[in-house]
Amino acid sequence: MVCLLLLLSADAWAGEPVATVRVAFDRHGITAIRMHGHADQATGRRITADDPVRIASIAKLVTALGVMRLVEAGKLDLDADASTLLGWRLRNPAFPDTPITLRLLLSHRSSLTDTAGYWQTPLGGELRDILKDPRAWDTKHAPGTYFRYANLNFPLVAQIMERATGERFDKLMQRLVLQPLGLDACFNWALCSDATAARAVVLYDAAGKPVKDDHHGRKPACPVTPASDGSCDLSRWRAGENGALFSPQGGLRISAKDLARIGQLLLGDGRIDGKRLLKSSSIRTMTTPEWQYRPGNGLTYEEDDGHIDQGFFCRYGLAVQTLATPGQGCRDDPFGDGVPRVGHSGSAYGLQAGLWVDRKHGTGVVWFATGMPDEREGGRSAFSAVEEALAH
């Protein structure tokens, strides 16, 4: 009986995610859609490519598009000391004379870690307090010398964006990226339409338990981590105090179809539907690797996931991964064809996702699967077997 239960448990995630969606596209539009399973198991609602899902770390790439718009507008400088942009001194205490720049934050070479946390910072709190914890820093490697994937980088990026504009991050991203692209997507459920929020994809863990966005067709009463007193008054927001509030590292809700438009923007070198959102040089800056793995210069896995994903990160630009890195120790090719696609992966709350484009041939794919385990298992690469199947 125990063996049977173990087999059933393994089959529940390895072969049967709660839902999968795959959208293929080229420079001109969507070319194919596959979908299977349920957006909401409790109601029996089937998944569609129009349903918004918390897309996890692919949000980092979208956040970086907003950064590059501000760089083009002259409001941000990728290579300026982030201390100037934040209004307070940002330094690794082990390397007090080494500046940390926006470029280093975006490329995970800042020497920050996730060990001290970041998601606990409530409404009215200050992200700066997290950085006082010695565990927030890699004290063995100076900024700029080592790749260490850390979500904490992106709340600081959002904080810098807020300071530069005086605008709240969720609203700023609507203005800079989401609205110009015609996307009904949001970093704050309040900014998505009621109809879109009603189609939210419920995220399930590998055991089938709902763990995120189980709102029963409604918008959540409080879209952020409430204040320490339990209140949720967003008028308490102050620019540049808590960049973690709207989860720039992973909190974007967006449909697979709309995410394909982000991919088309990359294929179009910053241009889509005859309109230019970013200069081609900005897209090139994002997609050019700032770091490529060689022994001793970085970690090839996300520390939250443990060593099982070694070889997952091997080339990284400004919030953009490049796949199919040649060389020993790299297992970053879920397609198995050696093509250096660019984009980003996502993994959180039982979701595994990807946005990948082949800029040479003008094609791309978006996928996500829900009800997945925390670890990416079963694949030939460092990606899961389910993702490898969705790649084709």
What is the pLDDT at residue 13? 42
Give residue-wise pLDDT tens across range 153-164: 999 999 999 999
Q: What is the mean pLDDT of residues 130-145?
A: 97
Task: Identify the weakest region by mean pLDDT among 9-23, 135-149, 245-259, 306-320.
Answer: 9-23
Judge contact between 77 and 285, C-beta under 8 A.
no
What is the pLDDT at residue 309? 77
pLDDT band at 316 (very low <50, low <70, confident <90, very high): very high
> How far is it, in rounded angstroms, from Cα 48 to Cα 322?
28
Give residue-wise pLDDT tens across range 28-50: 999 999 999 999 999 999 999 99
pLDDT band at 100 (very low <50, low <70, confident <90, very high): very high
- Taking each helix axis from N to C end, the angle separating 256-267 and 280-287, rounded to the nearest 10 degrees, works out to 110
Residue 307 has pLDDT above 60, yes or no: no
Torsion region of 380: left, alpha or beta (phi above 0 gives left; psi -120 to 50 gives alpha): alpha
How much of the chain exceeds pLDDT 90, in percent? 91
**Between β-strands 342-348 and 203-204, what pairing exists: parallel, antiparallel or unpaired?**
unpaired
Residue 11 has pLDDT above 80, yes or no: no
Judge contact between 323 and 300, C-beta under 8 A.
no
Give residue-wise pLDDT tens across range 232-264: 999 999 999 999 999 999 999 999 999 999 999
- 91-95 long-range contacts (CB < 8 A, ≥24 apart) are 92/137, 92/138, 92/139, 92/142, 92/143, 93/134, 93/137, 93/139, 94/137, 94/139, 94/140, 94/142, 95/142, 95/143
Report the 10 Å Cβ neighbour count for 118: 23
pLDDT band at 120 (very low <50, low <70, confident <90, very high): confident
Please give the residue that has the higher pLDDT: either 118 or 195. 195
Classify burial at 194, counting beta carbons within 10 Å of its beta carbon; exposed 0-12, middle 13-18, buried 19 or more.
exposed
> How far is it, in rounded angstroms, from Cα 373 to Cα 370?
9
- Please name which of 370, 328, 312, 365 lies closest in space to residue 343, comparing C-alpha atoms: 365
Residue 378 has pLDDT above 90, yes or no: no
Residue 87 has pLDDT above 50, yes or no: yes
> How far is it, in rounded angstroms, from Cα 183 to Cα 261?
8
Half-sphere exposure of 175 (CA within 13 A, CB side): 12
Q: What is the mean pLDDT of residues 291-307?
A: 86
Sequence-distant (6+) residues with CB within 8 A of 58 are 252, 259, 343, 344, 345, 346, 353, 354, 355
Give residue-wise pLDDT tens across range 318-346: 999 999 999 999 999 999 999 999 999 99
Q: Right CATH number for 19-221+236-391 from 3.40.710.10, 3.40.50.150, 3.60.20.10, 3.20.20.70? A: 3.40.710.10
Give residue-wise pLDDT tens across range 53-69: 999 999 999 999 999 99
What is the pLDDT at residue 306? 52
Report the 10 Å Cβ neighbour count for 308: 12
Note the pTM of the prediction, 2 decimals.
0.95
Q: Tell me the backbone φ, ψ of residue 289, rounded to 5 degrees.
A: -60, 130
What is the pLDDT at residue 304? 64
Task: Identify the weakest region by mean pLDDT among 274-283, 301-310, 361-370.
Answer: 301-310
What is the pLDDT at residue 265? 99
How much of the chain exceeds pLDDT 70, in percent? 95
* pLDDT, averaged across the chain: 94
pLDDT band at 77 (very low <50, low <70, confident <90, very high): very high
